[in-house]
């Protein structure tokens, strides 16, 4: 049908008259034809859009979604599309229509629309909106037929359908199945489904939900909403970086950025939402999604074209993949004091119940790439705090020293003043969204049609400085996040949403920390300003901790235990060798001190210190302590060896060397030629006998270590009595002349390389670190057995002319 008008509007000139047309007339004819054809093609691409809001009578719909849909209608209705809006829920038709009508009464128009025009527009929107009950597959079939009938009756072409899931995630599967089987639009029309968080509880549940939804919808059809990505300032982070790329290229890196803070504080508590909060807590509620998404916008590499959804999402994924794994010490937790009482009332819990759910959390994050190496990112969120505010603060290093006194410092010139960029998301003392740039940095470039400079407000101080110290810009007209996101959905701008790949990458990052904190008792704090400095933070290396000591808890939670500092280090004997026992923190401090003392003594006597380290999880806290708390350690004269290694590439997260690199080597200055990883990966093969990796390592030890006698070997003890990678019934490494052997582990990965027992026993000192309640049973057993290395390899550790010292925490030693 489109070809006929095109031919009529632009007929070819008659052959005989062609040469008689002036050149300018020909050009004009061509221009008119191109314009008209473009118009007709644009008209062909547009059509009727049906928007189905599931959960149309719920709180989210009433507060935000209907208003967002009304704004979408105002923005798009006159541009060639026609619309119909279907509010849907499980509620019966009559009651549902009444609830929906009540929700629509509160719709408002932009400030530049006159009251009479607003009444007219609301009337149009109401006539296009209807309620329907959607419970069964037949209901969805009926909806689809009604849409098709309307399109046919009005002579329209269906452009597509948007289904907005404003419902709990447990309902997703049934709704998705019904849409897929009974309510997809016909050929040539698109489908978009919009999903609200939570998207799972951990990596496994997120993976299961993603797999289920993926069986009904294609990836390009799904739009997972994080409404923070629709907030005006958050949505401006990438454009701001792009528009100021020339200036920021030299500043946006580890050489100039001191730290980045991503903060979301609330004054309200969890009253009325304790059922949700008990299941999710503050980390799952805000840090895993809102704050992590913002972090990636700050940390990601800027693509050449920030308008390319594909490029933005690809660079965000790369940022996720560069996040360093979180340890238990990366986070601190808090809980406002009245929370457990609210849970007891709302969920009918007994009077003895005390919740461990955090309502406050701060996490220290590092991005392991060249741009951000060593720069701390602090993510913090909490309820019942002293103010409601959200912001991202990029604080730059300041190496300046000014001779004149502060009263002579000019905000636009003095380099002694703090230098920072703040993306002020909203609320706080400023009271509105804004972007702030210190005047001694640069004057930022922002689009003048949508952002305007903020007038100074004498007396207002932000982040320690008066507002006049900043170039400050706010939006010309404030927009709700959901209005922005609905517009992006309509225009298929996927960069504002969370892909399956990015979602799972986020859960891979957060799940181990959540698991490790599951039984941690949070610090109790009073609500609001009464908390004082109780939640103030400090960080060092990879550790985050409260600045103030833990006060006595008014209501001790389950699992409350005396702090390590309440106990002295216990000294005793174990298997006729010295034993040091303490709580974990004290034990690690003591072991680190002893290793440093041994290192200093060895360097003083021989000029070097040879240290062999085992892998696994137990030494991680030790590595972190050595990296951050021992500045007198003679690293420049230390040779680091591995006591054992898994047969995986050294870059593999399972590699012991990779653990050593992540938690120690990247934080200290050991000459690279003093680092001796085990050669498990030779000739693109792993631990192949013919590559003679074990023999190569043995020759290296013999060449560099006098008498092949290490100054100190650090070992652990497995629950089966193994040590290093010497396992019970192991055919190799327990005796004989070999210094380094290949062994088989009962655990994956099965192939290992290990120092042999005879080599370990040549050491001047051997330290065995045993931690955790899981080790209590084997610790008791080994305390009673004799020298039986074939059954319990650890029992064969006894240096011939050196010293053996056991370091065992109270849980492993006393149970």
Active site residues: 290
If you ran DSSP here, which 8-state letter would residue 467 be given? G
Q: If you write DSSP's letter for every residue of 370-401 in order, what string do you get?
A: TTTTT--EEEEEESS-S--EEEEEEEEP----
Task: Count CB neighbours of 693 within 10 A.
Answer: 24
Task: Say if CB 227 and CB 164 are below 8 A apart.
Answer: no
Instruction: Please give the C-alpha separations between residue 14 and each of 11, 17, 18, 19, 25, in angstroms, as whole numbers.
Output: 9, 5, 6, 10, 14
Task: Say if CB 396 and CB 247 are below 8 A apart.
Answer: no
Given the structure tokens 């314009």, which residue do they identify? 35
Task: Count CB neighbours of 43 within 10 A.
Answer: 12
Task: Say if CB 372 and CB 404 are below 8 A apart.
Answer: no
Q: Which helix (H) or strand (E) holds 150?
A: helix 137-153
Annotate 489-556 with three-state secondary structure: HHCCCHHHCECHHHHHHHHHHHHHHHHHCCCCCCEEECCHHHHCCCCCEEEECCEEEECCCCCCCCCC
Using DSSP, state whether 200 is helix, strand or coil: coil
Can you tell me the distance from the alpha carbon of 84 to that of 161, in angstroms, rounded to the nearest whole number? 10
Q: Would you mind telling me the total number of residues written for the chain in this entry? A: 815
Please give the structure tokens belonging to residue 161.
């359908």
Annotate 265-334 with three-state secondary structure: ECCCCCCCCHHHHHHHHHHHHHHHHHHHHHHHHHHCCCCCCCCCHHHHHHHHHHHHHCECCCCHHHEEEE
Task: Count CB neighbours of 561 within 10 A.
Answer: 10
* Omega prior to 21 cis, within 30 of 0: no
In 90-187, DSSP assigns E strands to 129-133, 158-165
Q: If you write DSSP's letter for every residue of 162-196 in order, what string do you get?
A: EEEE-S-GGGHHHHHHHHHHH----TT-EEEEEEE
Please give the structure tokens belonging to residue 467.
């507002």
Instruction: Please give the C-alpha separations between residue 451 and each of 206, 247, 252, 428, in angstroms, as whole numbers.
Output: 38, 19, 23, 20
Helices (H) and strands (E) in the chain, counts: 25, 33
Task: Say if CB 460 and CB 467 are below 8 A apart.
Answer: yes
Please give the structure tokens belonging to residue 327.
């340890």
Annotate 714-735 with three-state secondary structure: EEECCCCCCECCECCCCCCCCC
Task: Say if CB 63 and CB 196 are below 8 A apart.
Answer: no
**Could you tell me the sign of the dihedral formed by the alpha carbons of 636, 641, 646, 649, in that order?**
positive
Q: If you write DSSP's letter for every residue of 628-662 in order, what string do you get?
A: HH-TT--GGGEEEEESEEESS-TTSTT-HHHHHHH
Exposed/middle/buried for 639, CB within 10 Å: 0-12, 13-18, 19+?
buried
Using DSSP, state whether 710 is helix, strand or coil: coil
Q: Find all residues with CB under 8 Å of 267, minimum gap 6, and list them.
A: 384, 385, 386, 387, 388, 528
**Shortest CA distance to 256 belongs to which of 496, 421, 87, 436?**
421
Q: Which helix (H) or strand (E) holds 472?
A: strand 470-475
Instruction: Please give the C-alpha separations between residue 562 and each of 20, 125, 340, 351, 391, in angstroms, as whole numbers.
Output: 102, 63, 21, 23, 37
Task: Say if CB 779 and CB 812 are below 8 A apart.
Answer: yes
């Amino acid at each position: 049908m489109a070809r006929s008008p095109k031919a009529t509007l632009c007929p070819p000139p008659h052959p005989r008259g062609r040469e008689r047309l002036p050149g300018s007339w020909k050009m004009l004819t061509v221009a008119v034809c191109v314009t008209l054809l473009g118009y007709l093609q644009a008209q062909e691409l547009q059509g009727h859009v049906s928007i189905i809001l599931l959960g149309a009578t719920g709180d989210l719909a009433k507060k935000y979604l209907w208003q967002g849909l009304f704004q979408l209608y105002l923005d798009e209705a006159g541009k060639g599309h026609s619309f119909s809006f279907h509010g849907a829920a499980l509620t019966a038709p009559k009651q549902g229509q009444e609830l929906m009508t009540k929700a629509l009464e509160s719709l408002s128009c932009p400030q530049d629309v006159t009251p009479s025009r607003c009444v007219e527009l609301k009337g149009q929107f109401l006539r296009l909106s209807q309620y329907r009950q959607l419970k069964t597959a037949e209901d969805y079939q009926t909806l689809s037929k009604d849409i098709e009938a309307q399109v046919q009756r009005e002579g329209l072409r269906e452009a597509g359908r948007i289904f907005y899931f404003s419902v709990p995630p447990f309902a997703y599967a049934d709704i998705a199945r019904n849409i897929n089987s009974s309510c997809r639009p016909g050929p040539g029309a698109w489908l978009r489904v919009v999903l609200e968080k939570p998207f799972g509880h951990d990596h496994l549940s997120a993976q299961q939900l993603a797999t289920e939804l993926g069986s009904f919808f294609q990836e390009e059809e799904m739009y997972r909403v994080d409404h923070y990505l629709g907030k005006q300032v958050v949505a401006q982070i990438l454009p701001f970086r792009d528009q100021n790329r020339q200036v920021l290229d030299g500043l946006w890196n580890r050489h100039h950025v001191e730290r980045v803070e991503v903060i979301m504080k609330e004054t309200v508590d969890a009253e009325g939402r304790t059922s949700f909060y008990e299941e999710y807590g503050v980390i799952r509620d805000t840090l895993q999604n809102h704050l992590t998404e913002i972090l990636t916008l700050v940390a990601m590499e800027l693509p050449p074209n920030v308008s390319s959804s594909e490029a933005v999402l690809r660079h965000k994924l790369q940022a996720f993949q560069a996040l360093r794994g979180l340890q238990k010490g990366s986070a601190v937790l808090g809980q406002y004091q009245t929370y457990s009482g609210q849970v007891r009332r709302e969920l009918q819990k007994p009077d003895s119940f005390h919740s461990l759910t955090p309502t406050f959390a701060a996490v220290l994050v590092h991005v392991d790439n060249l741009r951000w190496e060593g720069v701390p990112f602090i993510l913090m969120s909490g309820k019942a705090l002293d103010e409601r505010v959200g912001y991202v603060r990029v604080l730059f290093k300041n190496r300046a020293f000014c001779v004149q006194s502060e009263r002579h410092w000019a905000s636009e010139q003095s380099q002694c003043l703090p230098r920072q960029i703040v993306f002020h998301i909203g609320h706080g003392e400023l009271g509105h969204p804004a972007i702030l740039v210190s005047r001694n940095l640069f004057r930022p470039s922002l689009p003048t049609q949508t952002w305007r400079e903020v007038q100074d407000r004498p007396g207002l101080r932000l982040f320690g400085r008066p507002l006049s110290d900043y170039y400050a810009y706010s939006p010309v007209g404030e927009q709700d996040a959901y209005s922005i996101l609905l517009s992006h959905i309509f225009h298929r701008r996927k960069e504002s949403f969370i892909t399956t790949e990015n979602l799972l990458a986020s859960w891979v990052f957060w799940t181990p920390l959540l698991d490790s904190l599951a039984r941690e008792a949070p610090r109790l704090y009073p609500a609001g300003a009464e908390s004082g400095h109780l939640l103030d933070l400090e960080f060092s290396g990879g550790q985050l901790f409260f600045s103030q000591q833990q006060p006595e808890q008014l209501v001790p939670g389950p699992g409350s235990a005396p702090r390590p500092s309440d106990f002295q280090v216990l000294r005793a004997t174990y298997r006729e060798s010295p034993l040091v026992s303490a709580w974990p923190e004290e034990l690690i401090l003591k072991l680190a001190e002893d290793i440093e003392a041994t290192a200093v003594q060895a360097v003083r006597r021989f000029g070097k210190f040879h240290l062999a380290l085992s892998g696994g999880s137990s030494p991680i806290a030790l590595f972190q302590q050595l990296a951050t708390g021992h500045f007198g350690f003679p690293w420049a004269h230390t040779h680091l060896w591995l006591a054992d290694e898994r047969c995986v590439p050294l870059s593999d997260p399972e590699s012991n060397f990779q653990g050593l690199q992540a938690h120690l080597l990247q934080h200290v200055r050991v000459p690279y030629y003093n680092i001796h990883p085990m050669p498990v990966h030779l000739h693109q093969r792993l631990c192949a006998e013919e590559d003679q990796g074990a023999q190569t390592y043995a020759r290296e030890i013999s060449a560099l270590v006098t008498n092949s006698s290490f100054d100190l070997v650090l070992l652990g003890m497995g629950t089966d009595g193994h040590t290093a990678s010497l396992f019970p019934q192991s055919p190799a490494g327990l005796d004989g002349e070999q210094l380094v052997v290949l062994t088989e582990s009962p655990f994956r990965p099965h192939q290992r390389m290990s120092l042999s027992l005879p080599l370990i026993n040549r050491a001047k000192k051997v330290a065995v670190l045993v931690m955790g309640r899981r080790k209590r049973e084997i610790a008791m057993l080994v305390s009673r057995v004799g020298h039986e290395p074939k059954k319990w390899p650890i029992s064969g550790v006894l240096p011939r002319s050196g010293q053996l010292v056991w370091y065992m925490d109270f849980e492993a030693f006393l149970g």
